[in-house]
Chains A and B, each alone.
Chain A
Amino acid sequence: MSALAAKGVTVSLGGREVLDNVDFEAKRGEVVGLIGPNGAGKTTLLRVLTGLMIPDRGAVTLDEIELMSIPRVSRAKLIAYLPADAPVYWPLRVDRLVALGRIPHAGPWSGLNEADAEMTESAMARTDVLDLSSRVISSLSNGERARVLIARALAVEPEVLLADEPVSSLDPYHQLQVMELLQDVATDNRIVVAVLHDLTLAARFCDRIVLIHDGCIAHHGLPEAVLTSDIVRSVYGVETITASTSAGDFVVPWRRIDSGTHSP
């Protein structure tokens, strides 16, 4: 039974149908990789799944309960959304910023308690930003800032973690760290959906891949079933180098089909 499901979701933006009758599902305990070319509708689908965007048609359910019927406070506790390149408008200290993830759990008139502080610290430790705790967010590099924002999302302790390009600005070390983190979150009977552009990371760390193309689900299934050379070529327009090793599969985009250039 799908825990998070979208049925017949259609969204139009600026006169263009960004999502067209999309069905999506994610189960507890799995990491679902949402991949596709730019403008395919990945972020829009993610926003619909969070409840931040109301689709023109279709509905999203969580454990068969319509998402929008869940009270906002409950939704804030249940779902954490990590936007791509999320702006931070205030020069907050890192520890204060991460603690904002605990706000949905605090009472309306009460502050954060000791348990909240522990959870905040734990989230910072998992993303390796404890040494940045007294720094101001605006003084951090893009990669550091991205990890701080991931820590804030983890501090929510969400049932559903929706991350939009969580590793796009990270160095290889922290890319692997964050992907392991997403896997770790999912194993705790939670749902993780991540928009990814790195096909090798998607192939290695995701339990299922959903490939969106032109507002539709073009392919979905196990990574090895979706990330084939033919599918990648038809959807992305690139040739790939793929290989299966004992450590896992990798998919490396190698050249554009219409580029006219040749690889060595």
Chain B
Amino acid sequence: MKALPISGTSNWVVAGAISLAGHVAVATVITTLDETPSQDELPPIMVELVVLNEAELEPAAPAGEPPPENTHIPTTVMAMTKPSAPRVAVLTPNELVPPDETARRKPGPTSTTISGTAPLEFSRPHAAAHHMPEDKYTNVSKAWSPLAAAVQLGSTVQPRQKPSSSSPFVTAAVAPVEIETPQQIAAIAPPEAPPAEPTKPAPLVHLPQRKPLSSQTEHLGSSDITESEMDAVSTPPSDPSDPDVTIASAMISKLLDPAREDVHMATDVEDADPPTPESASKRLIEEVEQAVLASTRPVQFAGAIQPVIRPPGITRGVQVVAGNRPPKYPQAARRYGLEGRVLLRVEVDSAGIAQRVAVTKSSDHKILDEAARRAAGKWQFLPALVGGEAASGAIDVPIVFRLD
């Protein structure tokens, strides 16, 4: 990496961002130069200063080694990579120049910025120190996905020694679904799911069915997928038995760069319309939807309302009725600045009445837990339907108390 001059004619713009999530602290310094570089040797345009805790500074495990057992990034959060609005932005310096110039560039400093619904930035100092491969998809995912998970989730997720191709896109999009009123709760409650088939449980996330699911997976395994995406598909995810996550991840990779023409998802081969960035994005969105649908197990929102009891033959889970009164923010909690997120499990009878409300995850403030529990106990619900008949069921309701 070329040393950057600190003085002279260069005009420096320095932006610093410090993000604290859990026990990870990251500082990023972005420096841009106004001098015109030569084509052969573009000056590095981003300089990163990384402050990590000791866990993240551990060297990466050699390729091919399976991820450590204590590394678990839940694959269920896959559904949070909502196809209609990808909230993940993964940028590298390579992406800041046209693709044809990328090939001519020497390996420069790499930077990864992941932004979800919560602000998140992190960077890494130099690719060589971590043997970061050139490919802009694989390098990001292999080297930094566990850190991305740890930063985003604010958790104690240990950095994954063995890189995974799927997690950066997945985990970066994980953001708690914040709900402050029952109306909002009802709005994001999963809509009626299609009837379940005996061999294929209905996913909890309703997405339009467009194609036979089996053909989707076959297409994605075809030779139309580039090497990087094949790598993404072939690299074992956190759950090696779950091919859907890697498939969807490959497609999300493509989704992030619709203009990349050397990647073809090859699902709408009959489409006669000339490819445009908009149509490509739309098609990729559909691809992601299909991949989620292709899952052979229920896909769950992380943090969203979800029916939790689904007996065989169920045609609808428990749902919250719109118009329920939101929990009151306790006056003492407001005065004392208490905030938090309560996760309730509401058991609902066949008449849609809450029979039992349990706090499954406390906000750490009893006063908020009780306020949420009291409110949910008075709510009206749509009971679960099993074979067309109302049945008892349960639903998880997260309630976030947040002061402005």
Asked if A69 contacts B337 (CB within 8 A), the reply is no
Question: From residue B166, how far is it (CB to closest CB) to chain A in Å?
Answer: 37
Nearest Cβ distance between residue A27 and chain B, in whole angstroms? Answer: 15
A107 to chain B: closest CB distance in Å? 13
Distance (whole angstroms) from the CB of A159 to the closest CB of chain B: 8
Whether the Cβ atoms of A65 and B337 lie closer than 8 Å is no
Q: Decide if B364 touches A65 in the complex (CB within 8 Å).
A: no
Q: Which residues of A contact B337 (CB under 8 A)?
A: 70-71, 73-74
Bound-complex Cα distance A74 to B335 (A): 8
Does chain A have a CB within 8 A of B96?
no
A231 contacts B by Cβ under 8 Å = no
Q: Within 8 Å CB of A181, what residues of B?
A: none
In the complex, which residues of chain B have a beta carbon less than 8 angstroms from the beta carbon of A64? 332, 367
Partner of A78, one of B333, B336, B366: B336
User: Which residue of chain B has the shortest Cβ distance to A70 in the bound complex?
Assistant: B336
Number of residues on chain B facing chain A (CB within 8 A): 10
Q: Is the CB of B338 closer than 8 A to any CB of chain A? A: yes
Tell me the complex Cα distance, A65–B334, Å.
12
Tell me if B365 counts as interface (CB < 8 A to partner A): yes
C-alpha gap A73/B366 in the complex (Å): 20
Write the nearest CB–CB distance from B301 to chain A, whole angstroms: 28
Do B332 and A63 touch across chains, with their CB atoms under 8 A apart? Answer: yes
The interface residues of chain A lying within 8 Å CB-to-CB of B365 are 65, 69
* A62: Cβ under 8 A from any B Cβ: yes
CA distance A173 to B335 in the complex (A): 36
State the Cβ distance, B48 to closest chain A Cβ, in Å: 26
Q: Which parts of A56-77 form the interface with B (CB within 8 Å)?
A: 62-65, 69-71, 73-74
B367 to chain A, nearest CB (A): 6
Chain A residue numbers with a CB within 8 Å of B338 are: 65, 69-71, 74
Q: Which residues of B contact A71 (CB under 8 A)?
A: 336-338
> How long is the Cα–Cα vector from A207 to B333 in the complex, in angstroms?
28
In the bound complex, CA of A71 to CA of B333 (Å): 11
List CB contacts (< 8 Å) of B337-390 with chain A: 337-338, 364-367
Which residues of the other chain, A, contact B366 by a CB distance below 8 angstroms? 65
Q: Which chain B residues border A78 with CB–CB below 8 Å?
A: 336
Closest Cβ–Cβ distance, residue B56 to chain A (whole Å): 27
CB neighbours of A62 from chain B (8 A): 336
In the bound complex, residues from chain B placing their C-beta under 8 Å from that of A70 are: 336-338
Q: A71–B403 Cα gap in the complex (Å)?
A: 12
Which of A70-111 touch B at CB < 8 Å?
70-71, 73-74, 78
Per the bound structure, the CA–CA distance linking A175 and B263 in Å amounts to 83
Bound CA span A94–B47, Å: 47
Closest B residue to A67 by beta carbon equals B336
Residues of A within 8 A of B335 (CB): 63
A69 CA to B365 CA, complexed, in Å: 7
What is the minimal beta-carbon distance from A49 to any residue of chain B, in angstroms? 15
A93 to B337, CA, bound (A): 32
Q: Which residues of B contact A63 (CB under 8 A)?
A: 332, 335-336
| Contact bitstring A15-51, B, C-beta under 8 A = 1, else 0 | 0000000000000000000000000000000000000
| B364 contact set on A, CB distance < 8 A | 69
Specify which chain B residues have a CB less than 8 angstroms from the CB of A65 in the assembled complex. Answer: 332-333, 336, 338, 365-367
How far does the alpha carbon of A218 sit from the alpha carbon of B364 in the complex, in Å? 34
The smallest beta-carbon distance between B132 and chain A, in angstroms, is 37
The answer for the CA separation of A70 and B364 in the assembled complex, in Å, is 10
Q: Which residue of B lies closest to A78 (CB)?
A: B336
By CB atoms of chain A within 10 A, which of B333, B335, B364, B367 has the most? B335
Q: A62-B336, A63-B332, A64-B332 are in contact. List 7 more A-B contacts (CB 8 A).
A: A63-B335, A65-B333, A65-B367, A70-B337, A73-B337, A74-B337, A74-B338
Interface residues, chain B, with chain A CB atoms under 8 Å away: 332-333, 335-338, 364-367
Residue positions of A touching B, CB distance < 8 A: 62-65, 69-71, 73-74, 78
Q: Can you identify 27 A-B contacts, CB atoms within 8 angstroms? A: A62-B336, A63-B332, A63-B335, A63-B336, A64-B332, A64-B367, A65-B332, A65-B333, A65-B336, A65-B338, A65-B365, A65-B366, A65-B367, A69-B338, A69-B364, A69-B365, A70-B336, A70-B337, A70-B338, A71-B336, A71-B337, A71-B338, A73-B337, A74-B336, A74-B337, A74-B338, A78-B336
